[in-house]
Amino acid sequence: MPLWEYTLLGFTGLFSAALTALVGFGGGTILIGVLLLFMPPAVAIPFHGLVQLFSNGWRVILFRKHIGWHLAWRFTLLLPLGIILGLWFFQGLGKEMIQLLIGLTVVFALFARNLKGVRHKDLPTSAFIPLGLVMGILNMIVGVVAPLMGVLVVRKELNKEAMIGTLGFFALSGHVFKVAAFGWAGFHFEDHIPALAIMVPSVMVGGVLGKWLLGKVDEKFFRVFFQGLLILLSLKLIIWEGLWPLLLQYMG
């Protein structure tokens, strides 16, 4: 791999980690898009998982004092089982349909939070146990679960730092088991140490930068902006990755 490619990967790692530390999601999608320019999918996907493991692990360290641990430990209880089930569960349901359902669920959840009678109510903490199971299943099937996890942390007791840190812990938990699964399947991570040596410091610097920027953002503005991003990402899932492919299949 030439020097300019390593340089681009380094800048991508920095930017993606800073974005994720600032708004909670989005960096991973950018990172996998760039990795696929230089690596075949069979390499890019496991490598992406390992880089995200370091990135989210560092985010957890940076935000460790803010994480909603009362939610985090419950979320991880059944997550491993969900990842195992995700290898074969819902095999009859197409990827496009699942993404469409995820997008619709997020939009509905955000809308329902503003209805009279539930406006000031959050999900009970016990609900995060089965939610971890569901997220594990969906993460192995489509991988696009950031909007659904994002809507879970829009809670009264979590400030913006707690929302970002808790999301980081959710993501870290998923990537630990995904990387372990790739290693068990025989992927040789040691063959990519040079690229990893560039990207790990990059995502660490990006995480620090993103946290610093987050500290400059007003709490109320962040909540509005955060939920707006969730809606936009959900509409992308509903229209571009859900309805449009299904329409093409129907027309074909």
- Give the pLDDT confidence score for residue 200 in this predicted structure: 93
Q: What is the mean pLDDT of residues 201-214?
A: 94
Which pLDDT score is estimated for 72?
A: 93
The reported pTM is 0.79
Residue in 170, 187, 189 with CA at minimum distance from that of residue 83: 170
User: 117 pLDDT exceeds 60?
Assistant: no
Task: Report the C-alpha gap between 144 and 91 in whole angstroms.
Answer: 17
Is a pLDDT exceeding 80 seen at residue 80? yes
Residue 220 has what pLDDT?
A: 86
Annotate 49-67 with b (16+ C-beta within 10 A) or e (fewer): bbbbbbbbbbbbebbeebb
Give the pair of three-digit tokens for residue 165: 């840190």
Tokens of 172: 């870290």
How would residue 70 be classed by pLDDT, with cut points 50, 70 and 90?
very high
Q: List, in sequence order, the alpha helices (H) in 142-243.
A: 146-152, 160-184, 193-215, 219-235
For tokens 């197409």, name the residue: 94
DSSP-derived 3-state class of residue 185: coil
Q: What is the Rg, in whole angstroms, of the alpha carbon atoms belonging to the chain?
A: 18
Tell me what percent of the residues of the chain surpass a pLDDT of 70. 88
The letter for the amino acid at 73 is W
- pLDDT, tens digit, for every residue of 3-47? 778 888 899 999 999 998 988 877 887 888 888 888 887 788 888
